[in-house]
A and B are shown apart, each in its own frame.
Chain A
Amino acid sequence: MIWEVFRQERKGQPFVHGGSFHAPDKEFADAYAREFYARRQESVALWVVPRDAIHAIEEFPDEFDLKYRRVDGYSIKARLKEARARAGTAQRADAETDALSPSERG
């Protein structure tokens, strides 16, 4: 029986997959996990899971190109420029993005 180990290096950090090993039951799995993944205090916690219990999902089709819910779905540059031009703040906005502030430029 194969067991997968997920280890947490420090409190508060995510559990990361560490590796796997053979063990006939939970008691052996407990002992092996401690020996293989924490004997030098390199982990603060372990999740030991029978491989069969893991449901892996690997295909994530995006047929409808649902970009509206991601940051790469928004390109505001052109629209922002237009809005600034309309409000008459285009120059000021450009100046603000310069490295020097107006006072520094005198």
Chain B
Amino acid sequence: MEAREQEFLDYVQSGGLVETDDWMPDEYRKRLIKFIEMHGNSELMGVLPERDWILRAPTLQRKLALTAKIQDEVGHCQLIYRVVEDLGKPRSACLDDLIAGKSKFHNVFHYPTKSWGDVGVIAWLVDAAAIISQKALLKCSYAPYARVMKKVCWEESFHILHGRDTVLAMVTGTAEQFELVQEALLRWWEPLMHFHGTPIPAAEDPMVIWRIKSQGNEEARQQFLDGYVPQILELGLEIPDPKLRKNEDGVWEYTEPDWDELVSVVTGHGPASQERLDFRRLSRAETDWVSKVILAEAA
């Protein structure tokens, strides 16, 4: 590592913040682009499973809340892609790579939704897992990203509440409604355990070393389990992991998730990966004329 790069590393490790126009090592820039782009992709792909439920929402109020959440997520995508653009990769290139399957998006958005129970579980628990990662990003060494995260976290807290309220309405409803939530939880548990990634030690995680992320994967997962397992169990729901328990030292023990499945899913081999990408391709083609018209008028 050359001296200038070492100096930069020391700077970020000691809490230094980096702005768009500051000099930064190529590796730092590349890692930022890859990570932030994946985050932006996830916001955009994450609305597809929810979009499927707009027309099937059980009440008008739920329909409006779901639509508002979807608007938020797409807004996050635009904010986050702006950060990537200022680092050197244009938004159109992000979209091209996404639909070509060259870049990734979060594992949880590669799975299908089967009932309104999934919508509740996604908004409550997937967003809860996401907000843990996003809150840690408020301390990211790349300041423009950290600033965007403030707005994202603020809006996510509404999503969690909307999800929890949806789940509460169902578990206090008919036996059949309760069962829809329980089934959804069974489906989503493993993807939720995958969500924060393999338990690579923080000290060896390049993302932590560059202080792009401020917490290790396992630390985030432990925080999720600690915060949400009690909230799930108190509703009388069952978590599909017989090994799950909190040890005396405060650490959660759980069945090792199938990490090969995580790799397979995020590389486009999940049960809904291709269908979602196809839809994204279709919608890009269908809305192409809009951007052409807008840009032509501006010219």
Contact B78 A21 (CB under 8 A): yes
Residues of B whose CB lies within 8 Å of any CB of A are 21, 71, 75, 78-79, 82, 86, 91, 147-148, 151, 154, 294-295, 297-298
Residues of A whose CB lies within 8 Å of any CB of B are 1-2, 17-22, 24-25, 28, 35-36, 42, 56, 58
Contact A24 B91 (CB under 8 A): no
Contact A19 B294 (CB under 8 A): no
Q: Measured between alpha carbons, how far is A36 from B148 in the docked complex, in Å?
A: 12
Nearest chain A CB to B24's CB is how many angstroms away? 15
User: Pick the contact of B21 from A1, A25, A58 — CB < 8 Å?
Assistant: A58
Q: Measured between alpha carbons, how far is A34 from B21 in the docked complex, in Å?
A: 28
Q: Measured between alpha carbons, how far is A35 from B79 in the docked complex, in Å?
A: 12
Q: Measured between alpha carbons, how far is A35 from B72 in the docked complex, in Å?
A: 10
Contact A20 B298 (CB under 8 A): no
Contact B298 A18 (CB under 8 A): no
Contact B78 A24 (CB under 8 A): no
Point out the residues of chain B lying under 8 angstroms from A17, CB to CB. Answer: 147
Nearest-CB residue, chain A, relative to B79:
A19
Q: Measured between alpha carbons, how far is A22 from B85 in the docked complex, in Å?
A: 11
Nearest chain A CB to B17's CB is how many angstroms away? 14
Nearest-CB residue, chain B, relative to A1:
B298
Contact B75 A25 (CB under 8 A): no
User: Pick the contact of A19 from B21, B148, B298 — CB < 8 Å?
Assistant: B148
Contact B82 A24 (CB under 8 A): no
User: Pick the contact of B298 from A21, A24, A42, A58 — CB < 8 Å?
Assistant: A24
* Beyond A20-B82, A21-B79, 4 additional pairs, beta carbon < 8 A: A21-B78, A25-B297, A25-B298, A36-B78
Nearest chain A CB to B144's CB is how many angstroms away? 9
> With A19-B147, A21-B82 in contact, is A36–B75 under 8 Å at CB?
yes
Q: Measured between alpha carbons, how far is A28 from B298 in the docked complex, in Å?
A: 10
Q: Measured between alpha carbons, how far is A1 from B299 in the docked complex, in Å?
A: 11
Contact A19 B82 (CB under 8 A): yes
Contact A28 B294 (CB under 8 A): yes
| 21 contacting pairs across A/B (C-beta < 8 A) | A2-B82, A17-B147, A18-B151, A19-B79, A19-B82, A19-B147, A19-B148, A19-B151, A20-B82, A22-B91, A24-B295, A24-B297, A24-B298, A25-B297, A25-B298, A28-B294, A35-B71, A35-B75, A36-B78, A36-B79, A58-B21
Nearest chain B CB to A45's CB is how many angstroms away? 17
Point out the residues of chain B lying under 8 angstroms from A58, CB to CB. Answer: 21
Point out the residues of chain A lying under 8 angstroms from B297, CB to CB. Answer: 24-25
Point out the residues of chain A lying under 8 angstroms from B78, CB to CB. Answer: 21, 36
- Residue among A2, A17, A24, A35 with the highest chain B CB neighbour number at 10 A: A24
Point out the residues of chain B lying under 8 angstroms from A1, CB to CB. Answer: 298
Point out the residues of chain A lying under 8 angstroms from B91, CB to CB. Answer: 22
> With A19-B82, A35-B75, A36-B79 in contact, is A24–B151 under 8 Å at CB?
no
